[in-house]
């Protein structure tokens, strides 16, 4: 797979728009003359969605904004010694690229999850790529969410070719400094390859996953619904139940079969259920060990004492507490971010947050008093590392200060 992905990246790097347009014809089965979405298309798209959906998107945007704005960094000036002052400043990444999958579901919610914090962070250029439909259109809700959240430029490009275009730039699509967004295994492979030296990425994220951690007090209807809400994401999604109750496990199994029949995307969900597991453990201790080892992207805790259980979770992307907190809330509108680490990466990575869109630059200022205090230690350390140039940069200053 990596060889195929590398070939596409190299062609886009060499041929720009021409290669992207060719790959759109091959992979997305659409013949485009231009890649950029016009102002007219954006306005037309906005008029095609219902007022109810617009209201829902506006509510979600407000909550995502509130939660992410609260993460703003406030730098403090610290005097580490008299006359030695150090501080940090947060600066938005100037150019960011957002990848929004089209495929089996138009993820307009992901537009909000990525563009809203990018805007709060102060990113100057927010570029969005998403695969078009066969008639060359972009889903109107994606266009509405993008405009609402402050995206500067929208392009019709999907898959590996979109990632390559944002990583290297084409005649139409600007080169960015960091790429965000979920995708299939090819998109994930493309992000990993371009991140080796040319551009930063949010995280290595693969197929989506959920774990429901439940005891005998859980409602099997809710648990089954939570497992299926994850399974319908894609055929490679994974839904796992870890429970201390055999009775609950049996009830969930029956309920999953019943609810599955009512889902429009039951074919996709059925395939995902083949990767999924119902796991019976002897006690909560074993359940917690297993959960922290699995490090699920989404973790729903439906237990009697869910607050106590949650305290012991150390590896997870996003946690949903109690029987009335479905994963869907975080996916859409509660305010937390749904771009999260998968495949065990929650052991080392966080989900997307405001920090993902900023860099922190350190500053320091040293006065003559500070140089007298800290200088001899720097000279000593530099001499012992045999870096005499480093030592000399301090020595010449101390000589000047001591003459005064």
pLDDT band at 106 (very low <50, low <70, confident <90, very high): confident
**Set 68, 139, 298, 338: catalytic member:** 298
Buried b or exposed e, range 46-83, using 16+ CB within 10 angstroms: eeebeeeeeebbeebbebbbebbeeeeeeeeeeeeeeb
pLDDT band at 338 (very low <50, low <70, confident <90, very high): very high
HSE-CB for 316 with a 13 A CA cutoff? 23
Does the annotation mark 298 as catalytic?
yes
- Residue 108: alpha-carbon gap to chain centroid: 14
The annotation places the binding site at 99, 161, 184, 208, 230, 233, 298, 331, 385, 390
Tell me the C-alpha distance between 142 and 166, whole Å: 19
Does the annotation mark 46 as catalytic?
no
Q: DSSP letters along 67-107, please?
A: HHHTT------EEEETTEEEEEEEEE-SEEEEE---TTS--
CATH 3.40.50.1980 occupies which residues in the chain? 2-202, 209-350
pLDDT in tens, 151-160: 999 999 999 9
Partners of 300 in the β-ladder: 212, 320
The closest alpha carbon to 226, from 111, 322, 306, 342, belongs to: 322
pLDDT band at 104 (very low <50, low <70, confident <90, very high): low
The annotation places the binding site for Zn(2+) at 230, 233, 331, 390
Tell me the C-alpha distance between 248 and 185, whole Å: 34
Write the CATH number of the domain with boundaries 2-202.
3.40.50.1980
pLDDT in tens, 342-356: 999 999 999 999 999
pLDDT band at 113 (very low <50, low <70, confident <90, very high): very high
The annotation places the binding site for substrate at 208, 230, 233, 298, 331, 385, 390
**Set 209, 297, 302, 327: catalytic member:** 297
The annotation places the binding site for NAD(+) at 99, 161, 184
pLDDT at 105 over 90: no
Hey, what CATH class is 209-350 in? alpha beta
| Single pTM value for the model | 0.93
Mean pLDDT over 106-114 rounds to: 95
């Amino acid at each position: 797979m990596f060889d195929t992905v590398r070939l596409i990246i190299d062609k886009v790097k060499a041929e720009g728009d021409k290669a992207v347009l060719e790959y759109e014809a091959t992979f997305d089965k659409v013949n485009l003359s231009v890649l950029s979405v016009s102002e007219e298309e954006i306005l037309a798209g906005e008029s095609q969605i219902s007022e109810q959906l617009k209201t829902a998107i506006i509510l979600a945007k407000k909550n995502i904004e509130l939660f992410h704005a609260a993460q703003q960094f406030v730098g403090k000036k610290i005097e580490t010694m008299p006359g030695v002052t150090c501080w940090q400043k947060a600066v938005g990444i100037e150019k960011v690229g957002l990848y929004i999958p089209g495929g089996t579901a138009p993820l307009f919610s992901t537009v909000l999850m990525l563009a809203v914090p990018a805007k709060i962070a102060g990113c100057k250029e927010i570029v969005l790529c998403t695969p078009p439909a066969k008639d060359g259109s972009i889903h109107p809700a994606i266009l509405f969410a993008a405009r609402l959240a402050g995206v500067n430029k929208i392009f019709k490009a999907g898959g590996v070719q979109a990632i390559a275009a944002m990583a290297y730039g084409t005649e139409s699509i600007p080169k960015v400094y960091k790429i965000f967004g979920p995708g299939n295994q090819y998109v994930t492979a493309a992000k990993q390859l371009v991140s080796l030296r040319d551009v930063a990425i949010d995280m290595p994220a693969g197929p989506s996953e959920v774990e429901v951690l439940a005891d005998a007090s859980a409602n099997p209807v809710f648990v089954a619904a939570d497992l299926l809400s994850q399974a319908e994401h894609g055929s490679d999604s994974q839904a796992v139940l870890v429970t201390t109750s055999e009775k609950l496990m049996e009830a969930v199994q029956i309920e999953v079969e019943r609810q599955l029949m009512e889902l429009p995307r039951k074919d996709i969900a059925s395939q995902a259920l083949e990767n999924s597991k119902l796991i019976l453990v002897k006690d909560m201790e074993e359940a917690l060990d297993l959960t922290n080892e699995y490090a699920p992207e989404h973790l729903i805790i439906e237990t009697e004492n869910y607050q106590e259980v949650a305290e012991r979770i150390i590896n997870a992307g996003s946690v949903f507490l109690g029987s009335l907190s479905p994963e869907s809330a975080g996916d859409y509108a509660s305010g937390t971010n749904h771009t999260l680490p998968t495949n065990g990466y929650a052991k080392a990575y966080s989900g997307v947050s405001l920090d993902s869109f900023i860099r922190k630059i350190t500053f320091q200022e040293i006065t003559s008093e500070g140089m007298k205090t800290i200088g001899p230690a720097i000279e000593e350390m530099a001499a012992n590392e045999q870096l005499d140039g480093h030592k000399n940069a301090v020595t010449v200053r101390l000589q000047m200060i001591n003459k005064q």
